[in-house]
Structure 1
């Protein structure tokens, strides 16, 4: 049996224990396939993205620490509130990165690579943004690039019901149950050295998204979520 003891600062361990207890008491989550997450070594957790709290949920149901990329604006708010937010998000495993501009995607990718090369667990949402309507959208190839550059296995994750807890635009979370399903690790070592081949990257990404779709039970849309959001916004403006 792999050793899943928490690692990192004492504050992170205590915060995770407290939030984990509150989560189990209030939301009674159902977790399936948690043993599929390796106890040690680099691993990519690739999941669907329904709402803001998905990263926190995944961090709490996985016994080892999980690191995510987050917008640096979350830790730049001035004053006491800003310092508390920065402490909370970073303690939950968020790594702040400036994702705006031409180099935002590269910075996020390189940060993920560094995390994996340090032998840690890295969480990523291949859709690139939250689903606008609860469906699963086409994956970006960053997950494939990370897998092929680092050799880390990819564990697909399906999250169900977190959008009922924190609907878009809602304030305080609502009390509702949710489910997190972890699939078997996917090994893409057969594509070693092919991280610049766009056809390979697309094939790997589509394979990951296929597993995420089966785990989450979502309807799949072969369009990028960002394009779907832009189209919906244009439609609303025209209306």
Structure 2
């Protein structure tokens, strides 16, 4: 019932209020397993992507997003209702364990979204991706759609108490075929796949690519 309310009532209202600019949505298959791999600028990203994709999307989201108060409590309710999976950012073992329900989602033909950078970028640059998304793609036999979000950090800047009505953007790139990496040794295949994903996200977002991991990221490497 809560999912129905969020999907049928809250989701359309948010789309009317924020009017996101969406391109490339045809690259997201209407059914079957798929991974959406996105850059990460704000916790708003975890709302924006399910908002614009016309099918249920499950996320790995930082546990703190489920535990806030005020406006943040609304976010937590939305994420829980949409079936998102909380991950303690500082606990490697917990993060790796979170890949199990992710695999289950994909095995059941669902859409799963993940931030390869591991955490949001505070300086607007794009960081190197961790290989958890490569593990998921190769083990679940799922293609990866690169995603670029824009201006979400302006909606709820750090320290802001209320969201600003700013029109965000989201672009979905052409799917990356996991099968191109299956003949490589496992670790090398995961790394090569993730590197290609990050290259495609950079092309879509126009962000400066650092080539290094985000120092705040501690999970799913």
Q: Is the radius of gyration larger for structure 1 or structure 2?
A: 1
Describe the superposition over 1:131-156 as per-residue Cα deviations: whole angstroms up to 9, x where unpaired: 01111111111111111111101000
| Distance in 1 separating the partners of 2:217 and 2:118 | 12
Describe the superposition over 1:57-89 as per-residue Cα deviations: whole angstroms up to 9, x where unpaired: 0001000000012344555689xx999776432
Q: CA deviation at 1:19?
A: 2.8
What is the DSSP-based 3-state SS (H/G/I as helix, E as strand, rest coil) of the residue aligned with 1:157? strand
1:66 aligns with 2:57: yes
Q: Is the 8 A contact 1:148 1:195 kept in 2?
A: no
| Distance in 1 separating the partners of 2:120 and 2:91 | 19
Q: Which residue of 1 aligns with 2:99?
A: 109
TM (normalized to structure 1)? 0.81
Q: Which residue of 2 aligns with 1:205?
A: 194
Structure 1 range deviating more: 57-66 or 83-92: 83-92
Structure 1 range deviating more: 119-128 or 160-169: 160-169
Q: Which residue of 2 aligns with 1:6?
A: none
Q: CA deviation at 1:113?
A: 1.2
1:41 aligns with 2:32: yes
Describe the superposition over 1:78-109 as per-residue Cα deviations: whole angstroms up to 9, x where unpaired: 9xx99977643211231234454341231122
| Distance in 2 separating the partners of 1:222 and 1:70 | 23
Q: Where do residues 152-191 of structure 1 align in structure 2 (5 Å cutoff)?
A: 152-191=142-181
Describe the superposition over 1:108-132 as per-residue Cα deviations: whole angstroms up to 9, x where unpaired: 2222111111110000000000001
Gap regions ≥5 residues in structure 2 = none
TM (normalized to structure 2)? 0.87
Aligned residues: 217
| Distance in 1 separating the partners of 2:27 and 2:16 | 24
* Residues 1:76 and 1:28: Cα distance change in structure 2 (over 3 Å): closer
Q: Where do residues 1-239 of structure 1 align in structure 2 (5 Å cutoff)?
A: 10-72=1-63, 75=66, 87-192=77-182, 194=184, 196-197=186-187, 199-226=188-215
Q: What is the RMSD of the two structures over their aligned residues, measured on CA atoms? A: 2.7
